[in-house]
Structure 1
Amino acid sequence: MAKLKIGALVLAAGSSQRFGTDKRTTQLRNGNLMVIETLQKIVSNFEETAIVLKESDDEVEKLIKENYLEPEPFVYRATESHQGIGNSLSSSISVSIDRQWSGTFIFLADMPFIKSETIAILKEEALINNRSIIIPEFESFRGHPVFFPSRFYQELGLLKGDQGAKKIIESNLESVKQVEVADEGITKDIDCPEDLE
């Protein structure tokens, strides 16, 4: 049986309005930039990772390339990212289709505290339950990344505006598998500077 090809899609095309500055390039306590910290943990677990940036994100793309991540993530420019996360996700799911991923983990770039080991556990779960939507939980709180098998790509491709994938999850509860993890990082996204403390 052929090995399943699972990829990672990292959404990083938001506007950072509540943060005040571009949070993706904010320096964390360990010296890493937020987007690099998040990507390091992801790329070490996947053969293929795509990061979704805004059309105008030349500087962020340059920073990513300068950090020599291995394997190097490839960049997808979401031309309609200003219209909301739904548009970013719906257009970038084309990467999953083009790369023939049998399933895709959707990550948020502003979640640098997730552990690499957690990602490995979730990926292993996806290889076993590759027809399920897989959602990590920490103390009953759902988090990210969320895994979508390829059978949901068409629905993901229809998302618009600020509508994320939650609607698809709620419409397919019988296909959802929740995985309890010992990692608060799956629930901690950075919306304002205080979230870094």
Structure 2
Amino acid sequence: MASIGAIILAAGMSRRMGFPKLLADFNGKPLFRYAVETAVQSALQPIVLVGGERVNALRQLTCDLPMVQVIDNPEYSKGMASSLKLGIAKVTGRVDGAMIFLADQPLVPGEVISELIKQYKSARNQGIQIIRPNYNGMLGHPVLFDSRLFKAFHQINGDEGGRSIVSNHNDKLLIVNFKNPYWGADVDTPEDLVKLKNIRP
């Protein structure tokens, strides 16, 4: 059985939002809690939540979830790559693969996680090392990376995330299709927050 961990990226600076979006109320919970709870309910382990400027608030708001390890990225202003590197370092040697979540995507359901893991377990022996969802024509998150690719994260910089790793290993990529376009929606603006509150996964 392959062991899968979770890295949840929650160190963004909310430039387009104008206020700390990950702490914003979304149907009664802080926005970031949805990705965290999906990872917990999917039995991913370890679960690493990477925070930045408001890491202490993330710790306080996850104190009821002892299985979630909140880590501080003091270089959060340098972009997503700095958070990814920290998260990957925390799970290296502990898992066969890691699923990368974005904390501003509250509508990803557990069935997406279970299907990505199912496809990974059946395809990894055929050389597949990246599993990525496609939501009705839009590639999205979470993305599952096999541990054989963890070293590649040392080379990324800025705000690119894992994009270059995916493009450099396109022959090892498997796309899993889902019909619901809202599952991959992220919250970037106050308008997004209002619109997505009325949608059920």
TM-score, scaled relative to structure 2: 0.88
1:120 corresponds to 2:141: no
| CA distance 1:56–1:34, change in 2 (3 Å) | closer
Partner of 2:144: 147
Runs of 5+ unmatched residues, structure 1: none
Q: Aligned residue for 2:30?
A: 33
2:3 corresponds to: 5
Instruction: Give 1:84's aligned residue.
Output: 79
Tell me the number of residue pairs that the alignment of Structure 1 and Structure 2 aligns.
190
User: How far did residue 55 of structure 1 move?
Assistant: 5.9
SS in 1 for 2:71: strand
- Provide the secondary structure at the position in 2 that maps to 1:160: coil
Contact 1:111–1:185 (CA under 8 A) maintained in structure 2: no
Q: Distance in 2 between matches of 1:120 and 1:112?
A: 17
Query: Residue 14 of structure 1 aligns to a residue in which SS?
Result: coil
The two structures have a TM-score, normalised by structure 1, of 0.90
Task: Give yes or no for contact 2:8–2:35 (8 Å, CA) kept in 1.
Answer: no
Instruction: Indicate conservation of the 8 Å contact 1:61/1:75, yes or no.
Output: yes
Q: Does 1:60 align with 2:58?
A: yes
Task: Work out the CA distance in 2 between the residues paired with 1:190 and 1:90.
Answer: 23
| Secondary structure, aligned partner of 1:188 | coil
Alignment RMSD = 1.6
Report the 3-state secondary structure (helix = DSSP H, G, I; strand = E; otherwise coil) of the residue aligned with 1:16: coil
- Distance (Å, rounded) in 2 between the aligned partners of 1:124 and 1:185: 22
Q: 1:135 touches 1:145 (CA, 8 Å); kept in 2?
A: yes
Partner of 1:165: 162
